[in-house]
């Protein structure tokens, strides 16, 4: 113990006086020992290996070096030991994920979910698969509200884009095409991917081209994907987003209904409801003052005839994303309490929640049981957005009334306030 402390002391005292030489010496020692390993680590792309003779010259430059040679060897040995240990754990960190995920055993083309419905889960899942996801970018005019048009930039022609459903461990191979009629290049950033830009860099695609890239779904959860071509905000505001669900290996528990909703803002030159073709307004986007905050890209996309349908007794799961580009959402279903909320779309489950906060570029899985028939309203509980800007949807539950839980109006009688006492 004492010896090692004194060795370190000696090492440090010389370290400062002969730092230059020692570091040089150490560097070259390591280089020689690990030349095949470190060849690519060299910043300048060249390998400088000193011969033993040169090394001796380096070491002999100071006579003091001789004295501490043994301690140096110990230090080197320690360093090498440490390096190998840390290298080992790093390697483990890098490959552990892949090993625990298992080998890819097959290929299939993903069945994508057109909003507002989630795609079904593949039932025969036993081992990781290669999942081919076909996405095409189409720029097209669509209705934003009754009588209001807007040129949306879409994935597969819908806003939001299709919902993708894979399992943890799957290799997702994205075939990303940009229509020849597009004005802009586009790309896609999967928040479920681990890699630069979430694939944005690999998928940058000019009009009339197709890019292919793949990523391994390392982590389960519900993730946003979006276009990340500059200027990102405009690409998102124009409709380029959607959700990808990475199910855990064992899958999510079965429910009766699964819905797919994404909230977003649209910034237009005109005010809410101004008819005709509206254009993207940069000033309003910078001020974060949208005229429209909508579910699934359109005012009334989930209202009236388009309302979600369920029956009493059904377990309902809503995959809810918030594409932004600016606002955070306070997702709430009026008249329901969520049984389960997968917080931020991750693995932490909260129970019995009224309103859940969904960050921009984030998502949440909520579940509840339909108990009392009637209309239930999905809102961003920043309530002016719901009632004045469009962030509203409906779920119609049909079935037998359940008076035990909810009575409805029992009585209606006149009311006169008593005169205040003199």
Partner 1 sequence: MKRAVMIWMSLFGWLLLFKASRLSAALKDSGNLTSMVYIPEGSFTPFIQAVSSSQQVKIKGFMMDKYAVTNKQFLAFVKANPQWARSRVPQLLADEHYLEQWKQDEQIGDPRIENSPVTNISWFAASAYAKWAGKRLPTLQEWEYVMRAPAVNLPKTETMTAYLLNWYGRPTPRLIPSVGSTYKNKMGVYDMAGLVWEWVYDFNSVVKGSDSRSQGTLQKSLFCASGSQNVLNKEDYAGFMRFGFRASLKARYCIRNLGFRCAMDAKSP
Q: List interacting residues with partner 1 (CB under 8 A).
A: 139-140, 151, 179-185, 187, 189, 197, 200-201, 204-209, 228-232, 234, 238, 269, 279-280, 282, 286
CA atoms lying within 13 Å on the CB side of residue 65: 18
CA distance 131 to 34: 40
Residues 6+ apart with CB under 8 A from 19: none
The rounded distance, in Å, linking the Cα atoms of 64 and 16 is 13
Instruction: Using the minimum distance from each CB to partner 1, give the nearer residue, 177 or 205.
Output: 205
Minimum gap (Å) between residue 33 Cβ and partner 1: 31
CA angle 132, 211, 199 (to 5 degrees): 80
3-state secondary structure of 210: strand
Residue 106 or 208: the one with the smaller Cβ distance to partner 1 is 208
Closest CB 237 distance from partner 1, rounded Å: 10
Query: Which residue lies nearer to partner 1 by CB, 129 or 154?
Result: 154
Closer to partner 1 by CB, 28 or 156: give it.
Answer: 156
Which residue, 89 or 275, has its beta carbon nearer to partner 1? 275
Torsion sign, CA atoms 355, 356, 361, 367: negative
Are the beta carbons of 102 and 123 closer than 8 angstroms?
no
Q: How far is the CB of 230 from partner 1 (least distance, A)?
A: 4
Burial readout 191-216 (b: 16 or more C-beta within 10 A, e: otherwise): bbbeeeebbbebbbbebeeebebbbb
CB 268, min distance to partner 1, A: 11
Closest CB to partner 1 among 206 and 337? 206
What is the strand order of the sheet 189-190 is part of? Answer: 164-167, 241-247, 221-226, 189-190
C-alpha neighbours within 13 Å on the C-beta side of residue 87: 9
Write down the least CB distance from residue 269 to partner 1, Å.
Answer: 8
* Shorter beta-carbon distance to partner 1: residue 258 or 265: 265
Give CA–CA dist 31/39, Å, rounded: 8
């Amino acid at each position: 113990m004492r010896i090692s402390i004194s060795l370190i002391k000696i090492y440090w005292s010389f370290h400062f006086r002969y730092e230059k030489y020692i570091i040089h010496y150490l560097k070259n020692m390591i280089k020689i020992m690990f030349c095949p390993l470190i060849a690519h680590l060299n910043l300048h792309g060249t390998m400088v290996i000193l011969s033993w003779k040169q090394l001796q010259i380096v070491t002999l430059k100071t006579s003091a070096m001789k004295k501490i040679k043994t301690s140096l060897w110990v230090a080197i040995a320690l360093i090498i030991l440490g390096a190998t240990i840390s290298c080992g754990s790093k390697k483990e960190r890098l490959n552990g994920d892949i090993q625990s995920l298992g080998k890819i055993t097959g290929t299939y083309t993903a069945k994508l979910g057109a909003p507002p419905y989630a795609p079904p889960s593949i039932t025969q899942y036993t081992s990781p698969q290669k999942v081919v996801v076909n996405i095409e970018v189409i720029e097209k005019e669509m209705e934003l509200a009754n009588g209001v048009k807007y040129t949306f930039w879409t994935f597969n022609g819908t806003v939001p884009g299709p919902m993708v459903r894979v399992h943890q461990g799957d290799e997702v191979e994205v075939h990303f095409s940009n229509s020849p009629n597009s004005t802009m290049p586009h790309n896609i950033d999967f928040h479920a991917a681990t890699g630069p830009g979430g694939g944005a860099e690999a998928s940058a695609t000019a009009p009339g081209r197709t890019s292919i890239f793949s990523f391994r779904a390392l982590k389960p959860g519900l993730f946003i994907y979006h276009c990340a071509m500059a200027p990102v905000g405009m690409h998102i505001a124009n409709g380029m987003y959607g959700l990808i669900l990475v199910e855990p290996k064992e899958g999510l528990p079965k429910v009766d209904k699964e819905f797919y909703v994404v909230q977003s803002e649209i910034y237009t030159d005109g005010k809410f409801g101004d008819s005709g073709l509206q254009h993207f307004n940069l000033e309003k986007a910078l001020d974060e003052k949208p005229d429209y905050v909508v579910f699934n890209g359109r005012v009334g996309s989930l209202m009236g005839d388009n309302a979600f349908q369920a029956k009493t007794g059904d377990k309902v799961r809503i995959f809810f994303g918030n594409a932004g580009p600016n606002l955070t959402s306070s997702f709430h279903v009026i008249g329901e309490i969520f049984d389960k909320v997968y917080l931020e779309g991750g693995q932490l489950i909260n129970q019995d929640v009224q309103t859940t906060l969904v960050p921009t570029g984030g998502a949440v899985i909520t579940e509840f049981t339909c108990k009392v028939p009637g209309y239930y309203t999905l809102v961003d509980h920043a309530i002016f957005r719901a009632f004045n800007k469009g962030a509203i949807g409906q779920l119609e539950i049909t079935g037998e009334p359940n008076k035990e839980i909810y009575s409805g109006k029992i009585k209606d009688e006149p009311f006169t306030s008593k005169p205040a006492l003199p």
